[in-house]
Amino acid sequence: MSNNTMVSRVENDRVLVLERILAAPRDLVFKMFKDPEHLKRWWGPRGWELPVCNIDFRPGGVWHYCMKCVDQNQGEFYGMESWGKGVYKKIIEPEKIVYVDFFSDAEGNTNEAMPSTDVTLEFIDLGIKTKLINRAEYASAESLKTVMDMGMLQGVTETWDRLEEVLQQMK
């Protein structure tokens, strides 16, 4: 598995597992998911920025964010905002972050029409590298299909590409 290749698989029809090896030590990779100033530099697909990123990093705390498309080449997406909300359930620094991911609005109200996701992020220490494992569990196979049809896999791939680029700049 080369450094920047993301491996994906589906378990039980409703769990999407993504894995990637990042060329940075675990403490630093973990920090990228914890600190809003870091997250603003890489979270979201290419051409999207994070104008709002509020994090209360503790179990029961909320991460509320807005992704905005700033790339005119993305056509109808240009100027579009996508709000999300994570609620942290468990944090074991620097090994694991467990949270529930929701679509939301600017006020932080959950969009019940869209599927929520139980996310477990694992950070495996490989010395100068880190293996990042993202397990996203959906309520049903239909919910997983909904987000896959929205282009979620490409979005995560681009997001993790951006994370790798920021990590390289920080070395």
The ranges assigned to domains in the chain are: 7-170
Q: Tell me the fold of 7-170.
A: Alpha-D-Glucose-1,6-Bisphosphate; Chain A, domain 4 (3.30.530)
Alpha carbon of residue 39 to chain centroid: 10
pTM of the complete model: 0.93
Tell me, what's the pLDDT at 4?
64
**Which amino acid, one-letter code, is at 90?**
K
H/E run at residue 96: strand 96-103
- For 30-79, the pLDDT digits (tens) are 999 999 999 999 999 999 999 999 999 999 999 999 999 999 999 999 99
- For 9-32, the pLDDT digits (tens) are 999 999 999 999 999 999 999 999
> The tokens of 83 are what?
């709000």
Specify whether the CB–CB gap between 99 and 119 falls below 8 A.
yes
Q: Is 22 left (phi over 0), alpha (psi -120 to 50) or beta?
A: beta
